[in-house]
Amino acid sequence: MTFVLAEDVATGIEHLLRHVGRGFEIVDPGVERAGSIEWALARRSSTLAEALVVAVTPAGNTEHPLVEVQLSAGADDGDRFRREVVYRDVVDDLDPVLAILPARVDAALSWLALLGPEDLLIPHLVPQQRRALLENSAAAAGTVLAGRGGDEAPRTAPPAAPEGGVVQRVKAKKAPRKSAAKRA
Amino acid sequence: MSVAELATLVDIEMLLAVGLTPSPWHVSTAALPEYSGLEVASVTGYRHLLRYLRPHQLGQFLDGSPREHFVSPTPYAVEDSVRFLMLPDHLHPPRHVLVLETAAIARIRGPRMVRLGLGVEFVLPDGFTAEALVPPGWERELR
């Protein structure tokens, strides 16, 4: 079963989120992740990165096509984060959802406005301090990949790429596995 | 610490150790650094990448797919994938993955932390070809 979201629904969700304002910017709109189509808004301050996410996911079957709509909001300070589901419903028609979504988005924004760093509950698996240590170790060992493009470079600046290649490695490169080499 | 947390932790530390620093979740795909699949594979020990699938997506990508896909290096049990990949926790969680040969993928952007989540993801802007599917070339069921 191929799930195709009606264009007017997708446009409606994107239009709603684009007009939230208050410093929020839409990030990667309408992308499909693991079967859900997502729209995300993000806002960054000196202490927090905040997000609003609308996700639409098929939840029925061919005979009874349903979709789940979920609005979640959260914030992150680099060490801890918190995310809450603000609204969720399983429906067979998304038009009524589009009608009530603005009020739900407003509720989510009100909740985010009250959220401070002290409210963040879930620790990231790699604390910032250890992350910095590992990044510095990688840079010192010369095992840093130099990526191309992108508007935001990795936080550890990679060393200059060697002539004729972009991979800067000290260790001997492992020979490609037979299957990988054959395909590559 | 759960098995899923441990698996994620060692994956993130592996990526950090080879200079593939996960970007924060709020960085857009266009702003992520880009590599060839061979470049990523060569520093990650030819680690496979996993494309999680909801039930309605079974069979859709067995010939490859040229559109954008999100993948993770970390295998999760069904009950963990929703939490670690921060997916809507509804009726049908991802129950299958496609296992991809990283070296056979043309373009990879990332890695990036999953949005307000614990896991890490890569983006394949041009998707993947059928040649990138690890034999037997069909979806593996997660149990």
Give CA separation, A52 vs A27, A70, A141, B117, in Å.
10, 10, 39, 13
Q: CA nearest B108: which of A38, A181, A150, A158?
A: A150
ipTM of the complex: 0.88
Asked whether the beta carbons of residue A149 and residue B118 sit closer than 8 angstroms, the reply is no
Asked whether the beta carbons of residue A179 and residue B86 sit closer than 8 angstroms, the reply is no
Q: Comparing A62 with A32, which gets the higher pLDDT? A: A32
Q: Average pLDDT over chain B, rounded to whole?
A: 93
pLDDT above 80 for A178: no
Residues in chain A with CB shorter than 8 Å from the CB of B8 are 125
DSSP for residue A174: P
Q: Can you tell me the mean pLDDT for A53-68?
A: 84
B100 forms beta bridges with B49, B133
The pLDDT value given to residue A147: 82
Confidence band (pLDDT; 50, 70, 90) for A155?
Answer: very low
Q: Enter the pTM of the model.
A: 0.83
Residues in chain B with CB shorter than 8 Å from the CB of A63 are none
Confidence band (pLDDT; 50, 70, 90) for A2?
Answer: low
Single-letter amino acid code for the residue at B89:
D
Q: Comparing B57 with B90, which gets the higher pLDDT? A: B57
pLDDT above 60 for A80: yes
Confidence band (pLDDT; 50, 70, 90) for B127?
Answer: very high
Residues in chain B with CB shorter than 8 Å from the CB of A152 are 23, 27, 31-32
The pLDDT value given to residue A157: 37
Distance from CA of A134 to the nearest CA of B (A): 6
Residue pairs spanning A and B at CB distance below 8 A: 192
Q: Using the structure block, give the residue that is written with the tokens 């952007």.
A: B109
The pLDDT value given to residue A139: 77
Secondary structure class of B34 (helix, strand, coil):
strand
Q: A11-20, B33-42, B69-78, B104-113: lowest mean pLDDT where?
A: A11-20
Single-letter amino acid code for the residue at A21:
G
Query: Which residues of chain B from 42 to 101 reach within 8 Å of chain A, CB to CB?
Result: 42-43, 45-46, 52-54, 56-57, 60, 68, 70, 81, 85-88, 90-92, 94, 101
Secondary structure class of B100 (helix, strand, coil):
strand
> Model confidence over B74-121: pLDDT tens digits?
999 998 988 898 888 766 788 999 999 999 999 999 999 998 888 999
Q: Can you tell me the mean pLDDT for A52-78?
A: 88
Instruction: Name the token pair of A54.
Output: 């609308």
Rounded distance between C-alpha atoms, residue A104 and residue A110, angstroms: 10
Single-letter amino acid code for the residue at B104:
A
Q: Can you tell me the mean pLDDT for A162-177?
A: 40
Q: CA nearest A3: which of A48, A66, A82?
A: A66
Distance from CA of B138 to the nearest CA of A (A): 16
